[in-house]
């Protein structure tokens, strides 16, 4: 293995320069090459054809705006779920429903997928995610693996610090990475400290109506909120989030936001905040209920932490939260119990922006500093409560005991892991068995595809001494992932008939083309291997409109057979959508181009798929 020092990250370059003198990077090069190198390793990841994987892995697609589904342990990629970006394969972002969901945006930056939980355990029903790029939140239905709702989160810019759900999915919290003036109106950067805010949104999910809602927001100081986690068991009413740039720098952040020796973890009691809102202790800001901690006191505290922290993770037993300082080579274990006592006894060392600061010594349990481990970012847990922390700079995973701070094991990864994910890792009862390192750099790992390489995911067997047994490339960018037992997810085979859907047509004889002025509504059917738009017409598979008409094509797939999906594309009209078995979907557009345009099924559905086409005729304006 080559010696490798990650100098690509601007954020960390200064730190590397400062620490290079004592960093022993050669320790990695002495370690055996971390690859699967014998038959028994290969057998562990081999899932023979016909057999299925034990776990689903939901990997964030970062700035692809999508989510990727893998099977574990085979690490076979199964599917892409488009969430915040359009996807021409499925027509996501082209059909009416998804176009509306996208809200006019064409990309997203999805960092942290979060499965819904019941009693602190993944329940396999829903998946949540947020978009750092365009400040949105989304929910994916795991019966169909499709995005069901997206909301724009006002007053915020870049909800990176999310989504992490509370024990029974009461809330997910969306604190933002970037501070902006409320409503993102123009304010001078010289007025940053007085006019800018970092806002935390508490989002609820209405399962019955499949709707996300913003319950309330908190106008926090103008700092960057980075990662959060919800409490568990005895700490279940609480949540924690890391924050950096408490220096309130407005330029050259990489230097100026790293000056203070300490930043903070924000510790808050969401039940108390909800009660404040119920009691009317908030102000209305751009339609949102906003708590201002300097005026509406209580429920929020600051815990000092080593400078520029990144991840914060609550242990499965809910007793501790562990912060990782990306610029300090240490993990800090804090005790919830100690924090509650410190709150009760008002053991404060001061306050900032009206938020009391708890005394560091009153809350800190221990500082953990594994030898030569650099750049700790995120921590996961196994079935015995042991912690696994990714080391971005020294490119390794360190296993350690939160109760003693003792280092137990370490394994080099290729290279620069951000997060890692363990099986059922964010629940009150992780499975152990597997850990996957989500690496930022994969050079040397796969066939070269030019100057830029994919990211990588390395599967690590953690049942004994940690060992990498598989490595797969992954598209940008796996920030975080969650791994859930496969049998918890119950997908449907076909969409059931929906008698209340006015756009659905289930019988060929009911197909019709309805004209109202310059609006044309097509109620059509897709079936193996033809389209029927109007059964009684001379050519049932042809749609004819006038130039300038506003066209709605409602299409129902009446093949109630698992996996018989049809597509619907109009040549040169830049339009494509899919209809899954039993599904009705609508495409809306203006027929502004006159001419003759073939329409066809894009999803290979039968031996006569190539015959599944027709014409879209647009009569020119006189």
Binding footprint of ligand K7E on the chain (CB under 6 A): 111-112, 160, 227, 310, 377-378, 418-419, 479-480
Mark the segment that binds ligand CUA (CB under 6 A) among 52-60, 210-218, 412-420, 604-612: 604-612
CB of residue 26 vs ligand K7E: minimum separation in angstroms?
A: 25
What is the spatial distance between Cα 401 and Cα 206, in angstroms, rounded to a whole number? 38
User: From ligand CUA, ligand K7E, none, which one binds at residue 603 (CB under 5 to 8 Å depending on kind)?
Assistant: ligand CUA
Order of all β-strands in the sheet with 66-72: 77-82, 66-72, 55-60, 481-485, 417-423, 432-439, 455-461, 467-474
Order of all β-strands in the sheet with 407-412: 376-381, 387-391, 396-400, 407-412
Which member of 582, 605, 614, 616 binds ligand CUA (CB under 6 A)?
605
DSSP SS3 for 254: helix
User: From ligand K7E, ligand CUA, none, which one binds at residue 112 (CB under 5 to 8 Å depending on kind)?
Assistant: ligand K7E
What is the spatial distance between Cα 323 and Cα 311, in angstroms, rounded to a whole number? 6
Which member of 271, 359, 609, 619 binds ligand CUA (CB under 6 A)?
609
What is the total count of residues that contact ligand CUA (CB under 6 A)? 8
Specify the residue, 470 or 603, whose C-beta has the smaller distance to ligand CUA: 603
User: From ligand CUA, ligand K7E, none, which one binds at residue 566 (CB under 5 to 8 Å depending on kind)?
Assistant: ligand CUA
Specify the residue, 487 or 611, whose C-beta has the smaller distance to ligand CUA: 611
Token pair of 160 as six digits: 């990176």
Q: What is the dihedral of CA 86, 64, 458, 420, to 10 degrees?
A: -110
| Residue 90 binding ligand CUA, by CB under 6 A | no
∠ CA 560-149-483, rounded to 5°: 80
What is the spatial distance between Cα 30 and Cα 26, in angstroms, rounded to a whole number? 7
User: Residues with Cβ < 8 Å from 211, sequence gap 6 or more?
Assistant: 149, 205
| Residue 137 binding ligand CUA, by CB under 6 A | no
Contact criterion met (CB below 8 Å) for 355 and 343: no
| Residue 603 binding ligand CUA, by CB under 6 A | yes
User: From ligand K7E, ligand CUA, none, which one binds at residue 423 (CB under 5 to 8 Å depending on kind)?
Assistant: none
Token pair of 103 as six digits: 């809200």
Token pair of 298 as six digits: 């209580």
Structure letter (DSSP) for residue 16: H
User: Residues with Cβ < 8 Å from 190, sequence gap 6 or more?
Assistant: none
Which member of 286, 361, 596, 604 binds ligand CUA (CB under 6 A)?
604
Q: Per-residue x/- marks for ligand CUA, 516-555, CB under 6 A? A: ----------x-----------------------------
Specify the residue, 20 or 608, whose C-beta has the smaller distance to ligand CUA: 608
Mark the segment that binds ligand CUA (CB under 6 A) among 237-245, 465-473, 590-598, 603-611: 603-611
- Residue 12, H or E segment: helix 10-19
Beta bridge partner(s), residue 241: 228, 266
**Nearest to ligand K7E by Cβ — which residue?**
418
Of 2, 25, 11, 54, the C-alpha closest to 374 is 25
| Residue 612 binding ligand CUA, by CB under 6 A | yes
Specify the residue, 207 or 611, whose C-beta has the smaller distance to ligand CUA: 611
Q: Per-residue x/- marks for ligand CUA, 553-592, CB under 6 A? A: -------------x--------------------------
Mark the segment that binds ligand CUA (CB under 6 A) among 21-29, 148-156, 188-196, 605-613: 605-613
CB of residue 565 vs ligand CUA: minimum separation in angstroms?
A: 8
Specify the residue, 283 or 562, whose C-beta has the smaller distance to ligand CUA: 562
CB of residue 315 vs ligand CUA: minimum separation in angstroms?
A: 51
User: From ligand K7E, ligand CUA, none, which one binds at residue 310 (CB under 5 to 8 Å depending on kind)?
Assistant: ligand K7E
Specify the residue, 19 or 613, whose C-beta has the smaller distance to ligand CUA: 613
Contact criterion met (CB below 8 Å) for 129 and 142: no
Specify the residue, 414 or 580, whose C-beta has the smaller distance to ligand CUA: 580
Specify the residue, 160 or 566, whose C-beta has the smaller distance to ligand CUA: 566
Contact criterion met (CB below 8 Å) for 147 and 140: yes
Specify the residue, 381 or 495, whose C-beta has the smaller distance to ligand K7E: 381
Contact criterion met (CB below 8 Å) for 459 and 57: no
- Using alpha carbons, list the distances in angstroms from residue 213 to 98, 139, 186, 206: 18, 11, 27, 8
Specify the residue, 318 or 418, whose C-beta has the smaller distance to ligand K7E: 418
| Residue 219 binding ligand CUA, by CB under 6 A | no
CB of residue 493 vs ligand CUA: minimum separation in angstroms?
A: 18
What is the spatial distance between Cα 193 and Cα 272, in angstroms, rounded to a whole number? 27
User: From ligand K7E, ligand CUA, none, which one binds at residue 111 (CB under 5 to 8 Å depending on kind)?
Assistant: ligand K7E
Of 277, 146, 265, the C-alpha closest to 204 is 277
CB of residue 144 vs ligand CUA: minimum separation in angstroms?
A: 19
| Dihedral sign of CA atoms 149, 150, 152, 156 in order | positive
Positions in the binding site for ligand CUA (CB under 6 A): 526, 566, 601, 603-605, 609, 612
């Amino acid at each position: 293995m080559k010696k490798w020092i990650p100098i690509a990250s601007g954020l960390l370059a200064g730190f590397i320069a400062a620490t290079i003198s004592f960093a022993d990077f050669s320790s990695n090069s002495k370690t055996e090459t971390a690859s699967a190198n014998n038959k028994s390793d290969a057998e562990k990841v081999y899932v023979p054809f016909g057999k299925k994987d034990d776990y689903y892995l939901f990997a964030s697609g970062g700035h692809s705006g999508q989510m990727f589904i893998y099977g574990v342990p085979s690490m076979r990629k199964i599917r892409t779920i488009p969430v915040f970006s359009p996807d021409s394969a499925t027509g996501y972002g082209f059909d009416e429903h998804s176009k509306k969901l996208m809200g006019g945006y064409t990309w997203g930056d999805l960092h942290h997928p979060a499965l819904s939980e019941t009693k602190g355990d993944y329940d396999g029903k829903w998946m949540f995610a947020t978009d750092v790029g365009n400040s949105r939140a989304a929910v994916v239905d795991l019966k169909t693996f499709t995005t069901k709702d997206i909301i724009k989160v006002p007053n915020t810019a870049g909800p990176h610090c999310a989504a992490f759900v509370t024990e029974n999915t009461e809330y997910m919290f969306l604190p933002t990475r970037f501070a902006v003036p409320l409503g993102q109106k123009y304010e001078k950067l010289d007025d940053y400290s007085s006019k800018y805010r970092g806002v935390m949104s508490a989002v609820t999910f209405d399962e019955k109506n499949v709707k996300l809602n913003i319950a309330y927001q908190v106008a926090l100081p103008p700092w960057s909120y980075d990662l959060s986690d919800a409490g568990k068991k005895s700490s279940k009413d609480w949540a924690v989030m890391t924050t950096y740039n408490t220096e309130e720098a407005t330029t050259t952040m990489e230097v100026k936001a790293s000056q203070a020796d300490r930043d903070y973890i924000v510790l808050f009691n969401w039940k108390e905040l909800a009660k404040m809102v119920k009691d009317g202790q908030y102000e209305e800001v751009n339609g949102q209920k906003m708590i201002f901690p300097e005026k509406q006191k209580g429920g929020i505290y600051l815990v000092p932490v080593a400078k520029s922290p990144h991840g914060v993770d609550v242990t499965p037993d809910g007793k501790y939260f562990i912060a990782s300082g990306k610029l300090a080579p240490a993990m800090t274990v804090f005790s919830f119990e100690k924090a509650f006592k410190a709150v009760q006894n008002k053991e404060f060392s001061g306050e900032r922006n009206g938020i009391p600061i708890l005394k560091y010594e009153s809350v800190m349990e221990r500082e953990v500093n594994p030898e030569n481990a650099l750049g700790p970012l995120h921590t996961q847990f196994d079935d015995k409560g042991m912690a696994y922390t990714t080391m971005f700079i020294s490119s390794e995973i360190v296993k350690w005991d939160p109760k003693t701070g003792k280092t137990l094991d370490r394994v080099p990864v290729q290279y620069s892991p951000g997060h890692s994910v363990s099986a059922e890792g964010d629940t009150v009862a992780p499975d152990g068995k597997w850990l996957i390192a989500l690496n930022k750099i994969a050079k040397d790992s796969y066939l070269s595809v030019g100057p830029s390489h994919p990211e990588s995911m390395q599967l690590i067997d953690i049942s004994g001494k940690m060992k990498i047994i598989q490595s797969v490339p992954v598209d940008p960018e796996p920030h975080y992932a969650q791994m859930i037992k496969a049998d918890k997810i119950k997908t449907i085979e076909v969409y059931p008939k929906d008698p209340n859907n006015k756009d659905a047509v289930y019988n060929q004889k009911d197909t019709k083309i309805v004209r109202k002025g310059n609006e044309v509504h097509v109620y059509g059917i897709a079936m193996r291997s033809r389209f029927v738009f109007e059964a009684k017409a001379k050519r049932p598979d042809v749609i004819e409109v006038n130039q300038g008409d506003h066209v709605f094509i409602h299409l129902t797939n009446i093949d109630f057979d698992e996996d018989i999906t049809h597509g619907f594309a109009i040549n040169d009209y830049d339009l494509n959508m899919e209809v899954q078995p039993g599904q009705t979907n609508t495409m809306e557009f203006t027929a502004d181009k006159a001419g003759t345009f073939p329409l066809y099924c894009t999803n290979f559905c039968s031996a006569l798929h190539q015959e599944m086409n027709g014409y879209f005729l647009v009569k020119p304006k006189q």
